[in-house]
Structure formats: C-alpha cells, structure tokens
Amino acid sequence: MSAKNPLLNAAYAPLPIDKPFYDSAAANEGRTLVESFIIPIRSGKAWKVPAGHVFRISTPEGPQVGDLNLWNANDARERMWAARTRQLQASHVSVYDRLWSNLPFLRPLVTIVADTLKDYGVDEDGGRVHDLLGTRCDPYVNKYLSGVDFDLHCHSNLTRAVKPYGLTEFDVHDVLNVFQCTGLNSQDQYYMKACPAVKGSYIEFFAEMDILAALSTCPGGDLSIRMWGDDISEGEDPTLAVCRPLQIDIFKLPDEILKSWKPFSLDTYHGDHGLKAAGM
C-alpha cells in the first residue's frame, strides 16, 4: 500500500469510540425496562430495538449458547457482516466492539456496552468467548454427518423466528455466537468448548439504528456434549439435558445520556466502482 492510503492514517479509521458515552449507556441509572421475554430451549425469536436503546441477552438458568442475527429494521438488505466485523474488531468480541453491516452500507449496527464474561480472556486451550469464527448449526450439514433430517438447528430456529417479519431463510446470515467459547487449534481447525456462562451472565448491545434482532437458543445447549452423533440419529438426544432458555431485556435510556450520541452517517465511498471511468 502507498503511504498516502488513508487506511494507514488513524484519523480516518472507523474505530474511534466514545468510551464514556458507552459506559453511561451501560450504567443502570435512569434506565427504563420497556420489554422482557424468555426464549425457550431449542427455539428462536425475533424482536425490534429502537435506535438509542440497549438490549441485554442473559442466562436466567445457567450456561446456554445463543446464535444472534441483526438487520436494519427499516431495510433488511443491511445486515450484520461477521467477516468484516472480525477484521475491524476481533474474532471474539466484547465491550466497545461493534458489529458492522454489509456493503454498501458498512456501519455499526450495534456496540457492545456490557459483558459479564469480558474478563474470561484466553483460557488454557486458547479459547475465547462470543465468537465470530464459526457460524450457526444447520440441518444441511447435520444430514451430511448423520444421514438424518433434524429441524431444530440454529439456522432453522432463526428461519422460523424471522418469518413474522417478512424474512426468509435467505435472510438468515452468519452469526455472533453469544456465550460460546471457541478457538483454532494447532491445525488451524475450529473447536468449541463448554459454555463458561453461569446463571445471570449477560451481554448488552447499544442499538446504533433501529434494529431487528433474532436469537436462537442453540439446540446444543451449553455445548458440553457433542452435538451430532449416533444417539441423535437413533432418536435419543443427550444434549437436551444441557439446554436452557435465554432472556431478552430491552431498555430505554434517559434523554440526557443520548444528547452526546449521533447516528452514524452513510457519507462514505461514492459507490461508482470505476464504472464511469470505464464508460459503463
């Protein structure tokens, strides 16, 4: 790259963040709980979050993995882009990290403001929490591995969850694996570990725009038991015993806190892609 490339200039980086503002968004003072609900085991649900609100995902009964999808509630063509978020933030995210949207939008959908597992760090196996490395379990790969049709995968849960909002399987996308502990081994292969969350663990997201969110309570539960195997294909599923619900709480923030917040602008790349120069 040329030294003149603005990507090499920190002043142009898309990552500067007003930490005091997001800390105030995470504080409980003056918050109003506007909605709260439970997502039962092996199911999914979608919900809307107005811009400037905070939503919390928590583990009311103990460890449980959740697969999260996000869209612009006013234009579902704009949705979370896991790959670019990995590049701009990290493969495992926590407080102050943002979840970015796809092209041609490329702006934060949400910013993480609180995470009770933020101090988990890197464990003895190299595992970290809240990953963007893997994606949702799905019935297609299950059929390859087991030869059995099994509908209760995160992909299927999310597909059912978004149907009331006019979305389909084609809108379901790569996920943030909430509360999931993962890493890459010495052979550069993805691995999963048992979820380190406890009863009452939570992660909170500040909505940078009107958001449609969808979450699946993973049929693998806390992932302490292998998900695919002979037991499932024979009709017995030991993972059911390690499945627990997840809870969603949506909070309205005081107007005073939001005075310093401004939605992200779409004043970005002009979008020509060299077409005019090519005479197209």
User: Could you give the CA distance from residue 117 to residue 156 in angstroms, rounded to a whole number?
Assistant: 27
Residue 164: predicted pLDDT? 98
pLDDT for the residue numbered 134:
93
pLDDT, one tens digit per residue, over 171-201 is 999 999 999 999 999 999 999 999 999 999 9
CA nearest neighbour of 111 among 178, 183, 23, 182: 23
pLDDT at 2: 41
Q: In sequence order, what are the residues at sequence separation of 6 or more whose Cβ sits closer than 8 angstroms to the Cβ of residue 145?
A: 228
Residue 272: what pLDDT?
Answer: 83
What pLDDT, on the 0 to 100 scale, is given for residue 3? 45
Q: Is this model's pTM higher than 0.95 or not?
A: no
Phi and psi at residue 66, to the nearest 5°? -130, 145
Q: Are 215 and 77 in contact (CB under 8 A)?
A: no
Residues in the chain: 280
In whole angstroms, how far apart are CA 105 and each of 116, 192, 279? 30, 32, 25
d(CA 200, CA 183): 24
CA distance 217 to 155: 11
Per-residue CA distances from 239 to 64, 90, 100, 244 (Å): 11, 30, 32, 10
pLDDT at 233: 44
Which structure tokens are listed for 162? 């978004």
Residue among 252, 279, 117, 249 at smallest CA distance from 193: 117
Mean pLDDT, the chain, rounded, equals 90
- Cis amide linkage into residue 104, ω under 30° from 0: yes
Determine contact, residues 225/242, Cβ cutoff 8 Å: yes
Q: Side chain identity at 125, as an amino acid letter?
A: D
How far, in Å, CA of 120 to CA of 129, rounded?
7
Ranges under pLDDT 70 in the chain: 1-15, 227-237
For position 8, what pLDDT does the model report? 45
What is the distance between the alpha carbons of residues 227 and 225, in angstroms, rounded to a whole number? Answer: 6
User: Cα–Cα distance between 239 and 79 in angstroms, integer?
Assistant: 31
> Residue 257: what pLDDT?
95
Task: Write out the H or E segment, with its range, that includes residue 274.
Answer: none
State pLDDT tens for residues 212-259.
999 999 999 999 987 644 444 445 667 788 999 999 999 999 999 999
CA within 13 Å, CB half, 246: 29
